Chains A and B, each alone.
Chain A
């Protein structure tokens, strides 16, 4: 008997420890006086204190919401009246105001056939597992939101923090990007703007708050009491003024080992580290890493694409692909601009391409494309297109064949550069050159005339002049009577007439030059 008592007690102790480890408390309602009895652990769950004397109506009040209270009341009635066991999961609000989830079972115990002795059951605190399940749902919902791309990343992460704060009301979450060594506000749905504004764009660094330190050191920082933490020296008044006494921060590190963001969990009570909460934070950080790194990469890709489009726009350079098996043609954004068509309504197929070609160039282009198809040679060619508004553009094109299938070409790729401005400049230059040649020819003509005048002046004008000078010199130095004076005087007269005639010729030629200049000016 003694041995049996020992064994029963030992067994009971094991059961008690098991129940405790499983967060299970027991309850029972004795009949006929309907006395409610709780195990001590239930008082811990409901945070009532050990002196609490539960009764049925008080106990029902702990359940959150009328619906849950009615559900439990109906279940107990069903056990009492119909002997029907129940098992329900319901939220409660403890005496201290904390929300918990309980798994409740109830069964009937009969002492004899005539009277029911009691109903009894267990209440298991399933808050943690319930929260983890809710976290799963929350994370799935957030990932769905991210995939749909209907909300911005900041909005999605704000939704995430709201969900987390709903599941863990003691937490006030914040997410900050790390950009150029500074905190940059991303999402913090419950923290006051007055606090967020102060820390936004604040440089990170050792002992610059929990988040600043965690981002700087690339490791989690758990400050359980902001008022006493060295990480908050000089800054503690900011969160304390907003009512936050603890802050745990986790850096979000991408696959290249760069800190891209920092997750902050603020509490209004001084905290003690707990493994369960760390699990939640680590899950959150993994999700943030997935979303933020993906978003950043997407941004980088988008930026690269935008830069490429900008470069193509600036260079007036577009590229295209022609799937020759399906006859599908893909144009880059800039190519639509070059062709002056709307990408939303224009179909860039071969037929439309040929229709856009300048009539005089169409056959040449067709021949070139055929040649590329036959030879597979990489080819450069030029042609004109006529835009829908009638404007003519000059394109320099490059095309080559991609032949994956030896029996049939599968794809032709190419690029087109709008060289209209260059072409027009070339044509203007050519026209200017031709005008210049004409000018030079005219100048040469004038020069020839001027040369003629010079020649006339040098040879013809000076000839009679020299003759007159020679005769005058002769008269001066040869004694009178020794010369044929009449003959020489006649020579002077002839020379003067000759000179007069030559001057008239010069004037005619000068007038011709002037007349030519006037005609050119007109």
Chain B
């Protein structure tokens, strides 16, 4: 099974820097960049396959469809077991952290700006590490 990376954020500066930092950290998979949740869902539908997993870096506050909307929609995604979400948000509110942890697909909650140390840990941790071997 292959892994593809998806960065979902309406801030083009963030998507650009995050893309670079992920590559520098060792995330060498194919990257998709989306500026709202709706675009992200459309890519997932287009690339829907039981052989394909996604590591999604998901912002919360976005136009069209926010991060919560994406998480809710993923519950109906046919291969939701293959979806791993890392919340990448500027929100430091505990309520947002608690809310995010309630979703099964969320594996981590990172606060912007992304730190290289966090990305290195993520790379080596389950289930991402499996795809890098």
| A interface list, Cβ under 8 A from B | 454-455, 458-460, 462-463, 465-467, 469-471, 473-474, 477-478, 488, 491, 495
A-B pairs with beta carbons under 8 Å apart, 5 shown = A458-B90, A458-B91, A466-B111, A466-B113, A469-B113
> Across the interface, do A471 and B13 meet the contact criterion of CB distance under 8 Å?
yes
Interface string of B89-126 (1 = CB under 8 A from A): 11111001000000000000001111010000000000
Query: Could you tell me if A470 and B91 are in contact, using CB atoms closer than 8 angstroms?
Result: no
- Residues of A near B114 (CB, < 8 A) are 470
Pick from A459, A467, A477: contact of B14, CB below 8 A: A467
Structural contact, B20 and A474, CB atoms closer than 8 A: yes
Closest Cβ of chain B to A208, distance in Å, is 90
- Chain B contacts to A: CB under 8 angstroms: 11, 13-14, 17-18, 20-21, 60-61, 89-93, 96, 111-114, 116
Query: Which residues on B sit within 8 Å (CB–CB) of A463?
Result: 11, 61, 90, 112
Bound Cα distance from A290 to B96, whole angstroms = 94
Residues of chain B within 8 A of A462, CB atoms compared: 90-92, 112
CB-based closest 10 A-B pairs:
A466-B112, A470-B113, A462-B90, A469-B113, A491-B13, A463-B90, A458-B91, A466-B90, A458-B93, A459-B61
- The minimal Cβ–Cβ distance linking B118 to chain A, given in whole angstroms, is 12
A347 to B45, CA, bound (A): 93
Q: Smallest Cβ distance from A450 to chain B, in angstroms?
A: 13
* Closest residue of B by beta carbon distance from A472: B113
List of A residues within 8 angstroms of B91 by Cβ: 458-459, 462
B11 and A454 contacting across the interface, CB-CB below 8 Å: no
* Known contacts A467-B113, A470-B112, A470-B113; A458 and B92 CB within 8 A of each other: yes
A468 to B31, CA, bound (A): 23
B92:A470 contact, CB within 8 angstroms: no
Residues of A within 8 A of B96 (CB): 458
Instruction: Tell me the bound Cα distance from A454 to B96 in angstroms.
Output: 12
Choose among A454, A465, A471, A477 the residue that contacts B90 (Cβ–Cβ < 8 A): A465
Smallest distance from the beta carbon of B67 to chain A beta carbons, Å? Answer: 11
Give Cα A477 to B21, complex, Å: 10
Name the residue on B nearest A465 (C-beta): B90
Interface of A is mostly: helix
| B93 → A minimal CB distance (Å) | 5
Given A454-B93, A466-B90, A471 and B112 contact (CB-CB distance below 8 Å): no
Given A467-B11, A491-B13: A473 in contact with B113 (beta carbons within 8 A): yes
CB-based nearest A residue for B96: A458
Given A471-B13, A478-B20, A488-B13, A455 and B93 touching (CB < 8 A)? Answer: yes
Taking a contact as CB atoms under 8 Å apart, the answer to whether B17 and A470 are in contact is yes
CB-CB nearest in chain B for A469:
B113
A residues within 8 A CB of B61?
459-460, 463
Residues of A within 8 A of B112 (CB): 462-463, 466-467, 469-470
| Cβ-defined contact, B14 with A470, below 8 A | yes
CA distance A94 to B112 in the complex (A): 137
CB-based contact B17/A471 at 8 Å: yes
- Chain A contacts for B92, CB-based, 8 A: 458, 462
**CB nearest to B9 among chain A residues:** A463
Residues of chain A within 8 A (CB-CB) of B111 are 466
With the chains together, A135 CA to B92 CA distance in Å? 112
Q: Are B90 and A459 in contact (CB under 8 A)?
A: yes
> Distance (Å) between the CB of A57 and the closest chain B CB?
135
Which A residues are in CB contact (< 8 Å) with B60? 459
Cα–Cα distance between A217 and B61 once the two chains are bound (Å): 104
The chain A residue sitting closest to B91, CB to CB, is A458
8 Å CB contact of A470 from B13, B89, B93: B13
Q: How far is the CB of A456 from chain B (nearest CB, A)?
A: 10
Question: Given B13, B89, B93, which contacts A467 in the complex, CB threshold below 8 Å?
Answer: B13
Report Cα–Cα, A100/B103, bound state, in Å. Answer: 126
Smallest CB–CB gap between A188 and chain B, Å?
94
Q: Is the CB of A474 within 8 A of B17?
A: yes
Which residue of chain A is the closest to B94 with respect to CB atoms? Answer: A458
CB distance from A495 to the nearest CB of B (A): 8
Q: Which has the most chain A C-beta neighbours within 10 Å: B20, B61, B90?
A: B90
Residues of B within 8 A of A455 (CB): 93
Residue of B nearest to A463 (CB): B90
Q: Report Cα–Cα, A2/B114, bound state, in Å.
A: 170
User: In the complex, what residues of B have CB within 8 A of residue A470's CB?
Assistant: 13-14, 17-18, 112-114
Which residue in chain B gives the minimum CB-CB distance to A492?
B13
| Interchain nearest-CB distance for B57 vs A (Å) | 13
Most B C-beta atoms less than 10 A away, residue of A454, A459, A478, A491 = A459
Q: A459-B60, A462-B90, A477-B116 are in contact. List 20 more A-B contacts (CB 8 A).
A: A458-B96, A459-B89, A459-B91, A462-B91, A462-B92, A463-B112, A466-B90, A466-B112, A467-B14, A467-B113, A469-B112, A470-B14, A470-B18, A470-B112, A470-B114, A471-B13, A474-B17, A474-B21, A488-B13, A495-B13
Cα-based distance from A30 to B13 in the complex (angstroms): 168
Q: Output the least CB separation between B69 and chain A (Å).
A: 15
A483 vs B113: C-alpha distance when bound (angstroms): 18
Q: B90: which A residues are within 8 A, CB to CB?
A: 458-459, 462-463, 465-466
Most A CB within 10 A of own CB, among B11, B60, B96: B11
Q: Whose C-beta in chain A lies nearest to the C-beta of B113?
A: A470
Question: Closest residue of chain B to A466, judged by CB?
Answer: B112
